[in-house]
Amino acid sequence: MENKILGTLYGMAIGDSMGMPSELWSRRKIKSFFGKINYFLDSPSENETAIGLSKGEFTDDTAQALVILDSLMQNNFIPDKKIIASNLINWAIKTNAFDKNILGPSSKAALNAIQNGEDAEIYTSKALTNGAAMRIAPIGCLFKSDNKEDLVDYVYKISEVTHKTDVAISGASMIAAAVSSAIEDKDWNTIIKDSLDVFEIAKHYGYETFSASLSERLKLALDIAMKYKDDEEKFGQKIYDIIGCGTLTSEAVPSALAIAYFTKNPEKCSLMCANLGGDTDTIGAMATAICGAKVGVKAIGTKWINLINMSNKVDFNYYSQKIFEQRLK
């Protein structure tokens, strides 16, 4: 099981860092500038979003996931809104995330409000972006796949600090559920089914929005995956054109789940996401975490693991052990 948990953590970091150089660029611009991303790259000076990061260095997606884990461990894995908010703010200040445009719009607005003693719910109740989903993958490792109600409730309590809408909670829950199913080595159709089943529970949480249905978009994305199962380029283009690869939860989460289903391999998944266009690092973090959960860290190339370790100075074994210990309780 620890092999699978480590696979989730490294998968998240690999997808995140592989997609970092091309983050928020169009599919056309990525092809024009890079040709094709085939390995980890430094952030180009031309990309204002990813500026200053070195190859293999992950972004705020993985960084916030680790802050969430630190916050949970600080309180015996009981989600505490104040602890999570405080730690996210401290991380943001330490990394100058408020000024460097590192934070997503929903998280930035909510954390700024909390800092200023204002009511953050003005912003969290309207948060449609993927900030809750991007950092949630490790939480799926804490739950058995048949414990869906508790998983959704836990995801809600973690996410409400910055995201408190039905679509944000549903999207995060679907990613966590896919990881929960994948670490139990369920087949890919069951992984997707578990994610869709969780949506039916999670859609009742948070403030109601008029966002497109995550389950219907995922089903459409899966149809595209089946139609173009032997043509990666056409599949990626159709996902980009039809499902969307932007920062909205309603685009990023269905796309990430479909790409994980299509690729089934962490390395292939991270590369596809990096070349996809749009929110490449976030979609990469979510999708590759699921693939990593399915195959385990031992199936990921040592060269890739070593680069992640060297570039980020994070002991993922420590986090894996703590998650595993909590899962056993």
Element (H, E) at 218: helix 214-227
Burial (Cβ within 10 Å: 0-12, 13-18, ≥19) of residue 45: exposed
- For residue 61, say whether it is annotated as part of any ligand binding site: yes
Mapped onto helix, strand or coil, the DSSP state of residue 265 is coil
The reply, when asked if residue 59 is annotated as ligand binding, is yes
Could you tell me the maximum CA-CA distance found in the chain, to the nearest angstrom?
A: 53
User: What is d(CA 145, CA 48) in angstroms, rounded to the nearest whole number?
Assistant: 39
Q: Which residues contact 138 (CB under 8 A, 6 or more apart)?
A: 5, 8, 9, 12, 65, 68, 69, 179, 289, 319, 323
Name the token pair of 277: 């266009």
Element (H, E) at 91: helix 81-94
Q: Say if residue 209 carries a ligand binding annotation.
A: no
Residue 279 is labelled as binding a ligand = yes
248: phi then psi, degrees, rounded to nearest 5: -70, 140
* Phi, then psi, of 25 in degrees rounded to 5: -100, 155
282 is in an annotated binding site: yes
Q: Both tokens of residue 177?
A: 């559920």
Binding residues: 59-61, 279, 281-282
- Residues of each annotated binding site for Mg(2+): 59-61, 279, 281-282
